[in-house]
Amino acid sequence: MAPGPAVPILARPDPALECSPMKLALLGTGLMGAPMTRRLCAAGLDVTVWNRTRAKAEALASAGARVADTPDAAVRTAELVITMLEHGDIVEELLFAHGLADALPRGALLVDMSSIRPAQARAHAAALAERGVAHLDAPVSGGTVGAEAGTLAIMAGGEAADFERARPAFAPLGRATHVGPHGAGQLAKLANQMIVGITIGAVAEALLLAERGGADPAKVREALRGGFADSRILEVHGQRMVERDFAKRAAITVQIKDLRNALTTGAELGFDAPITQLFEQLYRSAADHGWADADHAGLWLELARRNGMK
């Protein structure tokens, strides 16, 4: 019998030539940072975490994350560092007052996914560049639900080359868009939060009006879906209003912070934002009446109070 065709022998790949996973540090493992860490670990990235309250970071060890005692230790060998902190002043304090900026390896990329003022993001980028560290401001939208599902909208400002470097970290988290230079990501997030905060108010007021007039707000919400009034806010936050479910996902305090950042940025740009100003006052009133830690859909509670409704 004639011999068959020769079968090529495939050499094993040299382990030294195989790509190692990106070394990541994530600082801030709260409501958003924790599910983001789990998704990064599940994607096979090499993740070290730090959180001011260590127990929150330790809870992620079972997902495959290493837990560092200090922020400096977390970033020591990182190629890419993600910060997911409460606001810009905390980011600035961690980076510069506590010296983290000097601990970052030269050539590393810091991706600040916190929601801060655009001017702060530009200042941080400039100060880090002097230390040989690249920077992206890349805030997110989608809340804890999006963080858990990997469907966050990520708005990135900075150099295009750095955006490409960050793609392996962005991919498990959601859909990333490069929107412009340093600070542009934060501008996009402010636009997002203006639309979200104002639309929550419109949905709440409309459903309360319908209820006051004797209509079933649940049925009104159902009737509006599919028409021009439909939106993600009507779908998600409208359902929370119908069910009176105001457990915190994104707190009223956070919405106030974002609207104030929008107003501060508008003032810096000579831009008048009267609608945003009105809603900042409404959310602040909600906080003053005891709902600071409610979900931002809890603006419904303030509008109901003003109308003497339960």
**Residues belonging to the active site:** 189
Rounded to the nearest angstrom, the gap between the alpha carbon of residue 128 and the centroid of all alpha carbons in its chain is: 21
Dihedral sign from CA coordinates of 202, 205, 210, 211: positive
Find out whether 75 and 100 touch, Cβ atoms under 8 Å: yes
Q: How far apart are CA 171 and CA 129, in angstroms?
A: 25
Q: Name the token pair of 121.
A: 């993001």
Find out whether 238 and 221 touch, Cβ atoms under 8 Å: yes
**Residue 173, exposed/middle/buried by CB under 10 A (0-12, 13-18, 19+)?**
buried
Q: How far apart are CA 57 and CA 37, in angstroms?
A: 10
Q: Which stretch of DSSP H or E encloses residue 40?
A: helix 33-42
Q: How far apart are CA 141 and CA 143, in angstroms?
A: 6
- Residue 81's SS3 state is strand
Q: How far apart are CA 120 and CA 118, in angstroms?
A: 5
Q: Identify the CA nearest to 111 among candidates 93, 95, 89.
A: 95
Q: Name the token pair of 129.
A: 């560049």
Q: Identify the CA nearest to 165 among candidates 111, 95, 104, 116.
A: 111
